[in-house]
A = this chain, B = another copy of it.
Amino acid sequence: MFSSWTIVLIMPASTNARARVRAELTREIKEAARAELALAGAGALSLRAVARRMDMVPSALYRYFDGRDALLTALIIEAYQAVGDAAEAADRDAGPAPGRRWMAMGRAVRAWAWDYPSQWALIYGSPVPGYQAPADTLEAGTRILRLLTRVLVDTHRIDRPTPLPIAPAIDPELHRWLSMAQDVAFGPMRDEVVALGVVAYTYLLGAVSVELFGQFGPDATPAVAMFDAGLRTTGLLLALPGIAGA
């Protein structure tokens, strides 16, 4: 609903009824596609099924999307945006303590994944065979990582180093790789902090997927407590102030 309002608001006043219907239908098609996604999975997303759900003829969809892959791309970008929005909102509401912020955004990411499992699988599951993501999706894909950076940057300003409980050794090869990561998502921070940031980010995505995809076994109960404990451990690893009680 939020996004439909956005579309309405950003349209110029001269927009005619046809354009407004078009925007609304575009939104509905994506909604129908998400419903299909949940049934069939990304690899088997079928334009004809989406069209049936819309009570349209399959060829009509080509007025809105260039084909199956274009529709998939739109869904991927919006999924990245949605999970990014959820994480950012949680961060905003968490107060200033970095530890609390990290816990809040991690929990929000997990909650979003359980609300929209097929969309989580779409962006963080196995790649869709035969689908090549265009460059548009990349910027959207780094939002959580950049959010983590914002959490880290106050704690680990390069001019005022906070001690770390466990610091991984940095050899030249790792240093090169970390420099690249710094360019993409992290600011000027010590190699040790960037490395632990990557570990924390990797852990977050991995913990959500492992639990959601059922790799603890099919009869394993959802483990909020375990997820929290792991998240807190990575927060302690990053020496985030306020993590202990979060």
Copies in the complex: 2
Known A39-B129, A199-B230; judge A138-B209 contact (CB<8 A).
Answer: no
Chain B residues with Cβ under 8 A from A223's Cβ? Answer: 177
Tell me, in angstroms, the Cα distance from A31 to B71 when the chains sit together.
34
Chain A residues in contact with chain B, CB under 8 A? 39-41, 43-44, 121, 124-130, 133, 138, 141-142, 165-166, 168-171, 173-174, 177-178, 180-181, 184, 195-196, 198-199, 202-203, 205-207, 209-210, 213-218, 220-221, 223-226, 228-230, 232-233, 236-237
Tell me, in angstroms, the Cα distance from A226 to B221 when the chains sit together.
32
Tell me, in angstroms, the Cα distance from A125 to B41 when the chains sit together.
12
Tell me, in angstroms, the Cα distance from A121 to B196 when the chains sit together.
26
Chain B residues with Cβ under 8 A from A232's Cβ? Answer: 168-169
* Minimum C-beta distance from A116 to chain B (A): 13
